[in-house]
């Protein structure tokens, strides 16, 4: 036994696991290469059609998988079910569209025939986080497998049960053996795996620090990478916004997954003219969120996924207050066995404090007052991140201009909260990473865009 998974709602031990030894890892990598040789030679239509089997298995297991997810990482059951439904959606989306995305594209040149083709790369190693244990994996795996690659999953240790369950889904959907495998390995083993000839590419969703490290390892071996990293996502609220609608969207976004989401709103930049009204309504809405047992239907916010995450979040809150922020709500861990933190609102947040500069991964909101639209956009873009952002205004043309031309992020939304959607590319800029997942752009990330020229 090398590690245990813990229920963050009550700190009870769930299961014990051992890391795979090197011989087991080598066998799995050899099996992945063999599986790729066969899988990549199947027709696109054959591969894509099998995603329907995956969706069917998922649909038949929503209840049990939702409970597993909630037990391992703490999100409310309603959110776990929604996450699984989104995984079913991504299966169905690519089943309907992947063949078109991967089709040869004729190009008129001096040749008698020339075209652009999209060939798979090989086994893709996915290093995935705990916060969306199924969705993060499926949004990588489904397009990657449709394109002819095979998947190797290194999941976070605290959701190892979810990791193994995902492998069983692909197996029970009657996909060929070893087309998708879950690995239980250490960080050092991950570096060794990246360096092997078996791995063609790497995708990571996680912290900026983890992304930089894995990118450097992959770079030494010239392996293609896609990184979806952290964010300090700003929402700009202008004077002409519908404040009731804006507050509802902002609170919803901040509290999704207990605030443990890379694209959850984190900094709320409000023009001074409506700041007091927004703050009052925002604090009131946050104060009504019910924190408790994630399996209870009345619960809005479950525990953070681990106790060390509570400790880190509290440090960020205390340092932000010491740096000049005002505490309008919450501000402390909740006593008891679980890893719970109070819904918290910080106002008057100052630059050079964690609540302004860092990603706060939990139910803590930062409100920053701007003098006007230009100042609000300046503050929104004053970040080393660039994953998601939003603007709220009743003037749709104004909102379109700001989202399209002025906010600097991979996803910019108007009058609603940022979310991922299989139909749209998802990813960030700056220290939020590079590359795209989902949509046509996502399925092509792990392909060889090949020129074919026939004279």
Residues that are catalytic: 228, 262
Q: Contact at 8 Å (CB) between 272 and 370?
A: yes
Q: What whole-number distance in Å separates Cα of residue 6 and Cα of residue 4?
A: 6
| Half-sphere exposure in the Cβ direction for 365 (13 Å, CA) | 31
Q: What whole-number distance in Å separates Cα of residue 355 and Cα of residue 12?
A: 31
Strand positions, DSSP E, 145-280: 150-154, 180-183, 201-205, 224-228, 234-237, 267-271
Q: Contact at 8 Å (CB) between 148 and 142?
A: no
159's CB contacts (< 8 A; 6+ apart) are: 5, 69, 72, 73, 130, 133
- The tokens for 151 are 């998947």
Per the listing, tokens 């050092």 go with 188
Q: What whole-number distance in Å separates Cα of residue 61 and Cα of residue 68?
A: 11
How many C-beta atoms surround the C-beta of residue 377 within 10 A?
22
Residue 326, SS3 per DSSP: strand
Q: Which of 143, 109, 149 is nearest to 452 (CA)?
A: 109
Distance (Å) of CA 148 to CA 62, 139, 444, 449: 27, 15, 11, 13
Per the listing, tokens 């776990």 go with 80
23's CB contacts (< 8 A; 6+ apart) are: none
Radius of gyration of the chain (CA): 23
């Amino acid at each position: 036994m090398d590690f245990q998974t813990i229920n963050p709602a009550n700190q009870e031990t769930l299961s014990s696991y051992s890391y795979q030894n090197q011989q087991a890892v080598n066998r799995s990598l050899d099996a992945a290469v063999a599986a790729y040789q066969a899988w990549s030679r199947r027709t696109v239509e054959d591969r894509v059609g099998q995603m329907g089997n995956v969706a069917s298995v998922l649909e038949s297991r929503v209840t049990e998988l939702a409970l597993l997810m909630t037990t391992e990482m703490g999100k409310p059951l309603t959110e776990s079910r929604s996450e699984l439904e989104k995984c079913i959606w991504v299966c169905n989306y690519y089943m309907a569209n992947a063949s078109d995305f991967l089709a040869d594209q004729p190009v008129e040149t001096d040749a008698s025939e020339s075209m652009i083709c999209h060939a798979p790369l090989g086994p893709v190693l996915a290093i995935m986080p705990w916060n969306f244990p199924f969705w993060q994996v499926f949004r990588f795996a489904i397009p990657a497998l449709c394109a002819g690659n095979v998947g190797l999953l290194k999941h976070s240790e605290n959701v190892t049960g979810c990791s193994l369950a995902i492998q069983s889904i692909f197996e029970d959907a009657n996909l060929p053996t070893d087309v998708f495998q879950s690995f239980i390995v250490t960080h050092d083993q991950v570096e060794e795996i990246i360096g092997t000839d078996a791995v063609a590419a790497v995708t990571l969703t996680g912290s900026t620090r983890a992304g930089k490290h894995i990118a450097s390892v992959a770079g030494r071996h010239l392996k293609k990478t896609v990184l979806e990293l952290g964010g300090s996502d700003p929402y700009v609220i202008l004077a002409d916004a519908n404040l009731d609608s804006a507050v509802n969207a902002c609170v919803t976004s901040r509290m999704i997954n207990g605030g443990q989401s890379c694209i959850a709103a984190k900094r709320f930049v409000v023009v001074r003219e409506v700041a007091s009204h927004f703050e009052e309504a925002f604090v009131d809405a946050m104060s009504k969120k019910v924190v408790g047992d994630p399996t209870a239907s009345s619960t809005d916010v479950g525990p953070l996924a681990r106790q060390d995450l509570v400790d880190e979040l509290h440090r960020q809150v205390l340092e932000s207050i010491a740096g000049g922020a005002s505490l309008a709500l919450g501000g402390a861990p909740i006593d008891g066995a679980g890893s719970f933190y109070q819904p918290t609102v910080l106002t008057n947040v100052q630059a050079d404090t964690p609540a302004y500069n860092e990603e706060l991964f939990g139910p803590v909101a930062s409100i920053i007052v701007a003098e006007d639209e230009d100042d609000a956009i300046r503050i929104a873009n004053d970040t080393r991140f660039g994953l998601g952002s939003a603007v709220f205004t009743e003037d749709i043309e104004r909102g379109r201009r700001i989202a399209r031309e002025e906010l600097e992020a991979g996803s910019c939304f108007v009058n609603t909260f940022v979310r991922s959607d299989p139909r749209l590319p998802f990813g960030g800029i700056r220290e939020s990473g590079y590359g795209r997942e989902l949509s046509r752009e996502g399925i092509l990330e792990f392909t060889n865009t090949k020129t074919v020229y026939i004279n």
